[in-house]
A = this chain, B = another copy of it.
Amino acid sequence: MTQALKSGGLRMTPQRLEIIREIAKAKDHPDADVILARVRERVPMLSRDTVYRTMDALVDAGLINKILMPRATRFDPDRLPHHHFICERCGKIVDIDADTVSPLPSVPRMLDGIGDVRAVHVHIQGVCHRCSEGHTQDQKRARS
């Protein structure tokens, strides 16, 4: 990941290194603030701006993906095609293997008369078991 950044003319700094490590291993699709909190345990002086700027750089470099959510944008280091189950109560995002929902929508590279396709994201919206059973952890309150 750090390699790909450098070849894009970007510089490697201690802050970026720690942020990259954190998002690379994250399995819960954290937002900028969560990443900030986690990295600050090691780098207390890290600023929120730097997190935003680094995430931007990583997205631009195609190394991570954005997931637009009601409260805040979240980030996904997994670039292999997969779907997302999104709980509308607690905001939890669960990766869904593309083969689970059979079959994967095969979108042509080019939609005639419309444009060319860069990526396909399938959002499966619902209510997770934990929430439907009442004990919503309110991981991070999700609006509407």
Chain A residues in the interface with B (C-beta under 8 A)? 56, 59-60, 66, 68-70, 83, 85, 87-88, 94, 96, 100-108, 111, 113-129, 131-132, 144
Q: How far is the CB of A103 from chain B (nearest CB, A)?
A: 6
Cα(A56)–Cα(B102), bound, Å: 33
Query: How distant is the Cα of A5 from the Cα of B68 in the complex, in angstroms?
Result: 28
On chain B, the residues within 8 Å of A126 by CB distance are 111, 115-119
A117 to B26, CA, bound (A): 25
- CB within 8 Å for A125 and B120 given contacts A68-B70, A96-B111, A106-B101: yes
Please determine whether B88 and A118 come into contact, CB atoms closer than 8 angstroms.
Answer: yes
Which residues of B sit under 8 angstroms from A101, Cβ to Cβ? Answer: 105-108
Closest chain-B Cβ to A98's Cβ sits at a distance in Å of 9
Q: A69-B68, A105-B105 given as contacts; is B123 within 8 A of A120 (CB)?
A: yes
Of all chain B residues, which has the CB nearest A127?
B115
